[in-house]
Amino acid sequence: MDQAVQSRPATPDFAAIKQRQQATWASGDFAVVGTTLQIVGESLAEAIDLRAGERVLDVAAGNGNATLAAARRFADVTSTDYVPSLLAKGRARAEAEGLAVTFRTADVEDLPFADGAFDIVLSTYGCMFAPDHARTASEMQRVTRAGGRIGMANWTPEGFIGRLFKVIGAHVPPPAGLKSPALWGTEAHLHTLFGDVARNIHVQRKFFNFRYASTAHWMQIFRDFYGPTHKAFAALDAVGQQALARDVTALLDELNVGGPNSLVVPGEYLEVVITKR
């Protein structure tokens, strides 16, 4: 009996994990990195065939890349995130472009909207980081109307960001029992999460190119501004920081296709369009 109890997988404390995640994404300044990803939101808006006047919800929106892409196509857009400071960045961007967007603090695992309230639900590298995968997918499905679409951009496990998180996890282990965010970048997991309600799940492998002046430039930006790497380095002593920096640098050097005078690292992701029954 004791052995059986000891062999049970750890049950993650989602509430505690989420609290730490909120602090992680509020640290640094994700917008510095987020604005470089704008092309992903534009591509997703085209892939999902977004139409003017459609009711669009951007979940875990960060500083609003998918939000802005939808608003530029004259959709009725609501942008949500559980980090108010990130929503403020998105609001400033929308105001600068004269785009009409509703901003609302909300958790993707507990969306404050009615069933079927939206024609389209979008997420670019956002929902994949919520700790409870099944609940996140359920909420996204719930607020999408019958026949509506869910569009996502999710990093793959074997791509650059997936490998980066493995490197970080080797130095700062994630909470026990927590599923990897990179599972959202696998077709099998998407079918597990959405297959019961989807009429169609269309997946395309794509690449976002991280373009920086050098490896050192990337390291400086991500250590200072990208929440997960910022917090990982902060959790380590000086020796641990040096070891993590060495391993991340090795990964960057391995994947760099920009030559000796620049850094260009292709980051593989899945562009996902799900049509709800």
CATH number at residue 70: 3.40.50.150
134 occurs within a structural domain: yes
121 occurs within a structural domain: yes
Mean confidence (pLDDT) of the chain: 95
148 occurs within a structural domain: yes
138 occurs within a structural domain: yes
Print the domain residue range for 271.
18-211+266-276
167 occurs within a structural domain: yes
Provide the domain count of the chain.
Answer: 1
Query: pLDDT digit string (tens) for 29-87?
Result: 999 999 999 999 999 999 999 999 999 999 999 999 999 999 999 999 999 999 999 99
Query: pLDDT digit string (tens) for 214-256?
Result: 999 999 999 999 999 999 999 999 999 999 999 999 999 999 9
Residue 150 has pLDDT above 60, yes or no: yes
Query: pLDDT digit string (tens) for 189-218?
Result: 999 999 999 999 999 999 999 999 999 999
CA angle (57, 58, 61) in 5-degree steps: 155
Output the pTM of the full model. 0.94
271 occurs within a structural domain: yes
The residue among 172 and 2 whose pLDDT is bigger is 172
162 occurs within a structural domain: yes
